[in-house]
Amino acid sequence: MEGNNLEKTLQEGNLFRQLNCLIVAHLRHHNLTQAARAVASATMTPLDVEAPPNKLLELVAKGIAVEKDETLRGVLSSTLFDLGTALGYGLNPDPRVSSVDFSAVQDTKGSSKSFPKHETRHLSEHKNIARCARFSPDGKFVATGSADTSIKLFEISKIKQMMLPDSKEGPVRPVIRTFYDHVQPINDLDFHPQSTVLISGAKDNTIKFFDFSKATAKRAFRVIQDTHNVRSVSFHPSGDFLLAGTDHSIAHLYDVNTFQCYLSANTPEIGVNGAINQVRYSSTGGMYVTASKDGAIRLWDGVSASCVRAIADAHGTAEATSACFTKDQRCGCFTQWDVLQFINEIGYKL
């Protein structure tokens, strides 16, 4: 009996430590630094403890949903739900919990998420509207392009450093590069998947290559001169090719090494208003998707460049402004100005 009591006490102590860690991390992630310090001090929890963002909210929401579900069934939640197991932090599960099924949680389609209040910690302004932003594949950088023709490159670690309390290293400048080489507004940006190269597409009909590993570089080291307004750019996952969506109705495929341009010979009939607002490769390069001013979403084979599926008038009479693939590549999502829609089960082998 004493052994069981000791084990239970140890489990409860471990549970409280994990709960305190989640609370401190939650407060810190939402910039409630003073509250995080107070809880950390009172519970002897490290202030810099790591936990996934919003993990506490996620677990509380699941608990409330299961409790509500079981209450509706007329079953007391206390007989079915064990907090230690719900948190999933390595505690021995109680056999009673085997009947809890999170898939039974009701879907809340259409409801809006409520987000905690966020505080602006850094503001770096362009001289005109910011038209696009793109993260690097490794998540270390984010670039913004503006109608003022400039491109700003931010280092994520420096942005995080600014958000830490009592930084003793003096002023932190997250903007590590600013490029000026276009003469018309920037439309889109993309990072090379392997090297320190950033490309931009602009209204001046050019695609420009910037090497952001060089601190003094302000201008592009290579330029592709297209024949149309370059609305969107996307690197192939290999980094050897890139797609340009332009005022032309067919995406322009460029060999990055030779700058040779290729156009698909297997194209559907597209009207005069078929300019491409956005083009994006799938993560394997096996497909790419275009969103056009004529309102159509088109899926293309990444090897043959033939159109394998077209959704005309995806938003009625409105144009399709953007498109991309989900991580599992089974669905595509596309938007008009205020609507997000999904292409479920693309049904095409990538």
Q: pLDDT tens-digit profile of 14-51?
A: 787 888 889 988 888 888 888 888 888 777 788 888 88
Give CA–CA dist 66/331, Å, rounded. 29
Nearest to 86 by CA among 113, 107, 66, 108: 66
* Together in a domain, 244 and 330: yes
One domain for residues 81 and 160:
no
Asked if residue 40 belongs to a domain, the reply is: yes
**CATH of residue 260:** 2.130.10.10
Confidence of residue 80 (pLDDT cuts 50, 70, 90): very low
Same domain, residue pair 190 and 273: yes
In the chain, which residue ranges form alpha helices assigned H by DSSP?
Answer: 2-29, 33-43, 55-72, 83-87, 156-163
Provide mean pLDDT across the span 135-144: 94
One domain, residues 100 and 134: no
Residue with the larger pLDDT of the pair 133 and 106: 133
Taking the C-alpha atoms of residue 220 and residue 208, their distance in angstroms, rounded to an integer, is: 6
Average pLDDT over residues 124-132: 85
Average pLDDT over residues 196-221: 94
- Band (pLDDT 50/70/90 cuts) for residue 97 is very low
Instruction: Tell me, yes or no, whether 91 and 215 share the same domain.
Output: no
| Average confidence (pLDDT) over 320-325 | 88
Cβ contact 198:189 at 8 Å: yes
Residue 115 domain-assigned (yes or no) = no
Let me know if residue 113 belongs to a domain. Answer: no
Instruction: Please indicate, yes or no, whether residues 287 and 159 belong to a single structural domain of this protein.
Output: yes
Instruction: Please give the mean pLDDT across all residues of the chain.
Output: 79
| pLDDT score of 211 more than 90 | yes
Contacts with 299 (C-beta within 8 Å, 6 or more apart), sequence order = 287, 288, 289, 307, 308, 309, 310, 332, 343, 346, 348
Q: In the prediction, which pLDDT does 170 show?
A: 65
pTM for the whole structure: 0.62
Q: Structural domain of residue 282, as residue ranges?
A: 130-343
For residues 165-188, give the mean pLDDT: 84
Count other Cβ atoms within 10 Å, centred on residue 249: 23
Q: CA torsion sign, 15 to 17 to 23 to 25?
A: negative
Domain boundary pick from 52, 86, 104: 104
Same domain for 92 and 204? no
In a domain, 169, yes or no: yes
pLDDT score of 325? 85
- What is residue 179's predicted lDDT score, i.e. its pLDDT? 95
For residue 95, give Cα distances in angstroms to 14, 99, 138, 222, 288: 19, 9, 42, 64, 48
Compute the distance between CA of residue 115 and CA of residue 60 in angstroms, rounded to an integer.
14
The residue assigned the tokens 């929401």 is: 61
For residues 171 and 290, state if they share a domain.
yes
Record the tokens describing residue 182, joined without a space.
Answer: 């276009």
Task: Specify burial of residue 324 (Cβ count, 10 A radius: 0-12, 13-18, 19+).
Answer: middle
Residues 200, 299, single domain; the answer is yes
110 within some domain: no
- In the DSSP assignment, the letter for residue 319 is P
Q: 20 and 150: one domain?
A: no
Neighbours of 71 (CB within 10 A): 11
**Same domain flag for 40 and 156:** no
Q: Helix, strand or coil for residue 345?
A: coil
Q: Please report the pLDDT score of residue 100 as a whole number.
A: 37
Q: What is the pLDDT of residue 160?
A: 83
Is 122 among the domain residues?
no
The pLDDT score that the predictor gives to residue 274 is 84
Proportion of the chain above pLDDT 90, given as a percent: 37
Nearest CA among 306, 305, 320, 142 for reference residue 231: 320
Amino acid (1-letter code) at residue 333: C
Co-location of 65 and 137 in the same domain = no
Does 350 map to a domain? no
Checking if the pLDDT of 329 tops 70, the result is: no
Q: What is the pLDDT of residue 36?
A: 84
| Segment of 63-72, 104-113, 205-214 carrying the highest mean pLDDT | 205-214
The C-alpha angle with vertex 345 and arms to 342 and 350, in degrees rounded to 5, equals 110
Number of domains in the chain: 2
Any domain includes 349: no
Question: CA 253, CA 208: separation in Å to the nearest integer?
Answer: 15
User: Distance (Å, rounded) from C-alpha 279 to C-alpha 187?
Assistant: 12
